Chains A and B, each alone.
Chain A
Amino acid sequence: MGNKTNLPSATRRLFLRRSLLALGAIAAAPAMTTQAIAKTADSASALSSLSVLSQEEYRILTVVGDTVVPRGGAFNLGALDIDLATRIDSYLDPDDAPMLQGLRGALMFLEHKAPALAKMEGTFSALPAPQREGLLLALRDTGGDATAVYAALRGLCTFYFYTHEHAWPGVGYDGPLVKRGRPVYPQVEA
């Protein structure tokens, strides 16, 4: 699957804002109404442990993570084992509206619109694992915005999976030499 030689053509459109995630907003824009995005956002923190993602977004992102980093294979650990979607949520900036819009757009596009583009029925998250992987790779090979959604979600999942300490034994990385938590930011009123 990895040895693809025919490259997709890229569109030249300027992107709204290029954090990786923001690309998804444009991809989803034709497919999603503003109200739909707002509704998704309004239900944020439906799960008590989530800071930014809604329950629905969390659910879809969990399936994306499981597709990008499944259990088994070269090493056992997969995205489900570390609750990757919650980890990603903990790093999302609730004030970064373009980035959040991009992420929400990308997830909704993948869940509801992408399967039809690949002539698959149902939602992304309801597909069997091989079809989910096939769909993501089809997005990669489509070019333009679809490729951008693939790149954004793939990058998000792999970055926060492989920077998790539980992933390190599987890839032979012995980790930082200092054992410290996240840096502390002084709490002051803005």
Chain B
Amino acid sequence: MIIQGHEIFAPLKLKTHSVVVGSGAGGGVAAYHMAAAGLETVVLEEGGYFQAKDFNQREEDMMPALYRSKGQQTTTDGMIYVWQGSTFGGSTVINTADATPIEAEVLHHWQQKFGLSELTEDNLAASYKRVYKMLNVHRLEDQILNANNKLLLETANRLGYKAGVFESNRKNCVGSGYCFQGCAYDAKQGTNLTYLPKASELGARIYTDVRVDRIERLFGGKYRVHATVVARGSRKARHPVEIDCERIIMAAGTVHTPAILKRSGFDKGLPQLGKNISLQPQIGLSAVMPDSQKMTSWRGAPQSIYMSEFDDNHAEHGLGGFRMEGVGGMVGIFSHFGNTIGHDHKRLMAEYPNTHFSALLVPDQPSGTLDWEWGPDGKVKPKIQYKLTEEWKQRFKRGYKTAAEFLFEAGAREINCNSPVFGPITSPDQLSRIDEFPLEPGMVALTSAHVQGSCRIGLNADVGVVDQNLQLHNLDNIFVVDGSVMPTTASTHTMVPIMVMADRAMHKLAQGA
């Protein structure tokens, strides 16, 4: 059963066995496993309930509806936009449906550095099988690959670089190109179409427009969840909700899961709570191609091909290096690229059909922290503190130069990025300008679509927040199953890694193991 906030007209008091906080990649999986085990389960999702019929393929409408803070959530210095879904289905509704596993080198890194001996490829294999089947993961069909992405593949092939086509969790994709705005065709197999409806069929009650404020520990090892029904859109408080339960599964995401735990006073004895955040920052690049070379970046699968020649993944450090991935489909956001206004900017925008767009992904080591701000309403609000390291900056600049060289090789006439001050690069002999690239607040807009950490797995509370079964170190029956548990960045796309980790832990829990 799905109950939307506007259907609630009075304070609620409920009792259940398990409460799942959040309905995205981790929450959806958890809800399904709890309900499948016959446990009375309630899912609380702060975002609204939207369906394919509501998605209008316009970013100015869909970002406020589907994204956390209307797509304006940033690090405290404003330099990095941190995109997270905030809707029924969470980020699985707004991602580009790319299904990548946790890299083998990352698992080895976790084993070597953090002693996570249970998280092996063998131990995760059954979870991959279940998740891939539920999501219909398969290699993307050739017919929805667009020219914008194929440019990467063709150029990489010509240069002898590694590149490939993503696996994806789509079904009957028409290639409209609007993944970031929610799929209007129900092709993207997010939790909104897979785990959550199945959990609902199995008896789970899923409440949308309900924000969890804090958790109270009751006598006898039970818990009370204090939540609030909010108005969709404004998210103003409407009615209080109290739910008594035996088990809580946190899946509110890397930013809000630790905030709720902090508000609840559960941070005592968890020195790592809110620390070790990876943002995997990326920058958007645009390359104006010859007039005859139409990219039509907004049609077809927006993000379907990667160029991975410069990946540097090792057991010593996990993900490293940098890579390029095609990206497309957002005329509004892409209008921010370049540093011009007036007729110069109009000339650049008139090249939109023959402009290639891609993202330069530069994996980071976990270095961010959540800071806490006590609001006037007495609630803790998370603030993402994150500073780029010198090592990352140097790697970014190497990556930018390499990407620019690659794009010139592909035929680019002019390369821009999402910086209001850094002017276009119009020939390879200008690449040295990238040495002075302004990686400073206000000078560039980086994006993080894969925020991880803040409740990382560790063998004990000194080094981690949850154990290898994703249970809090300091409290029984509170689990965390979202991206916050990743000790370091798990992969270039995090939906599948989150689901697989959640599946392993929740399957075990449901089986009583």
List chain A positions with a Cβ less than 8 A from chain B: 1-5, 7-12, 14-15, 18-20, 23, 67-70, 72-75, 91, 93, 95, 133, 136-137, 140-141, 144-145, 147-148, 150-151, 154-155, 158-163, 168, 170-173, 176-178, 180-190
Partner of A2, one of B76, B176, B338, B438: B338
Is there an interface contact between A154 and B298, defined as CB atoms closer than 8 Å? Answer: no
Q: How far is the CB of A134 from chain B (nearest CB, A)?
A: 10
For residue B440, which residues in chain A have a CB less than 8 angstroms away from its CB?
A: 9-10, 12
Question: What is the minimal beta-carbon distance from B338 to any residue of chain A, in angstroms?
Answer: 7
Min CB gap A179→B, angstroms: 8
List of A residues within 8 angstroms of B65 by Cβ = 183
Contacts of B438 in A (CB 8 A): 7-8, 10
- Which chain B positions have C-beta within 8 A of A185? 48, 231-233
Contact A181 B332 (CB under 8 A): no
Binary contact track B331-350/A, C-beta < 8 Å → 1, others 0: 11111101111111111111
B237 interfacial by beta-carbon distance below 8 Å: yes
Set of chain B residues within 8 Å of A67, measured between Cβ atoms: 341-342
Give the residue of B56, B334, B426 whose beta carbon is less than 8 angstroms from that of A176: B56
Give the A-B contact count at a CB cut-off of 8 A.
195
3 pairs of A and B residues whose beta carbons are closest in the complex: A18-B78, A10-B440, A176-B57
Q: Which residues of A contact B62 (CB under 8 A)?
A: 183
Contact residues, B78-101 vs A (CB, 8 A): 78-79
Give 13 pairs: A residue, B residue, CB < 8 Å, sorted on A.
Answer: A5-B433, A9-B440, A18-B78, A72-B343, A133-B342, A158-B345, A159-B332, A162-B349, A170-B349, A173-B352, A181-B56, A185-B48, A189-B238
Contact indicator B350/A75 (Cβ below 8 Å): yes
Whether the pair A155, B420 counts as a contact (CB closer than 8 A) is: yes
**B residues whose Cβ falls under 8 Å from a Cβ of A:** 4-6, 48, 50, 54-62, 64-65, 70, 72, 74-79, 176, 178, 184, 230-234, 236-238, 298, 331-336, 338-350, 352-353, 420-424, 426, 433, 436, 438, 440-443
A165 to chain B, nearest CB (A): 9
A159 near B336 with CB under 8 A, answer yes
For B72, the closest partner residue in chain A by CB is A19
Q: Is the CB of A18 within 8 A of B74?
A: yes
Given contacts A72-B343, A185-B232, contact A176 B441 (CB under 8 A): no
Contact of A74 among B57, B238, B349, B422 (CB under 8 A): B349
A189 proximity list for chain B (CB < 8 A): 238
Which of these, A5, A19, A163, A172, contacts B423 with CB under 8 Å?
Answer: A5
Q: Which residues of A contact B78 (CB under 8 A)?
A: 15, 18, 20, 23
Q: Tell me which of A11, A19, A133 contacts B341 (CB under 8 A).
A: A133
Complex interface: chain B residues within 8 A of A9 (CB): 440
CA–CA, A23 and B77, complex, Å? 10
B231 near A162 with CB under 8 A, answer no
With contact pairs A19-B72, A74-B347, A136-B341 given, residues A7 and B336 touching in the complex (Cβ less than 8 Å) = no
- CB nearest to B385 among chain A residues: A14
Q: Are B420 and A154 in touch, CB under 8 angstroms?
A: yes
A138 to chain B, nearest CB (A): 12
- For B422, list chain A residues within 8 Å (CB): 7
Docked Cα-Cα span, A145 to B443, in Å, equals 10
Q: Is the CB of B331 within 8 A of A163?
A: yes
Task: Return chain B residues, CB-CB under 8 Å to A161.
Answer: 335
B369 to chain A, nearest CB (A): 14
Chain B CB within 10 A, most for which of A2, A12, A93: A2
Instruction: List, in ascending order, chain A residues with CB within 8 A of B331's CB.
Output: 162-163, 168, 171, 173
A74, B343: Cα distance in complex, Å: 7
Chain A residue nearest to B441 in the complex (CB): A10
Further 16 A-B residue pairs, CB within 8 A, beyond A2-B338, A158-B345: A4-B421, A10-B438, A15-B77, A18-B78, A69-B341, A70-B346, A72-B343, A93-B234, A150-B420, A151-B420, A151-B421, A158-B336, A161-B335, A170-B349, A180-B56, A185-B48
With A67-B341, A68-B345, A150-B420 known as contacts, the answer to whether A188 contacts B353 (CB < 8 A) is no
CA distance A55 to B337 in the complex (A): 30
Contact B436 A2 (CB under 8 A): no
Residues of B within 8 A of A154 (CB): 336, 341, 420
Q: Which residue of B72, B335, B422, B441 has the most chain A CB atoms within 10 A of its CB atom?
A: B335
The answer to whether A2 and B441 have CB atoms under 8 Å apart is no
